[in-house]
Amino acid sequence: MTTAEPITGADEKSRTAQLSSSAQSEKMRKEMGFKRTEVNELLALCHRRCCVCHRFCGTKIEIHHIQPSEAGGEDSIENATPLCFECHAEVQLYND
């Protein structure tokens, strides 16, 4: 008969952080709506460059809905464009 090892405070904090991170990732995915595999493919196609200013962004890039979800835009890659933070902010201001 084996006994379970007790959970230490550090283990519990680690588990809580993992759950929290996982929940945040799921929330972000639902808000964003795009499938991660499609986003990765889109980023590879644009070579991680902003589609407005063409600056290389690396990981500092966001996927923008061309037609907003509120206006009936789909969460499909055909309705998406990669933008740097600055261009995304400009587009958001323009759309408001």
Find the DSSP H helices in the chain. 9-32, 36-45, 85-95
- Asked whether the whole model's pTM tops 0.85, one would answer no
Which pair of tokens denotes residue 40?
């990765």
Question: 65, 73 in Cβ contact below 8 A?
Answer: yes
Residue ranges per structural domain of the chain: 23-95
Q: Yes or no: is domain 23-95 CATH 1.10.30?
A: yes
Closest CA to 88 of 48, 50, 45: 50
The per-residue pLDDT string of the chain (96 residues; one tens digit each, 9 = 90 and over) reads 445 445 555 555 555 555 555 554 444 444 558 999 999 999 999 999 999 999 999 999 999 999 998 899 999 999 999 999 999 999 988 776
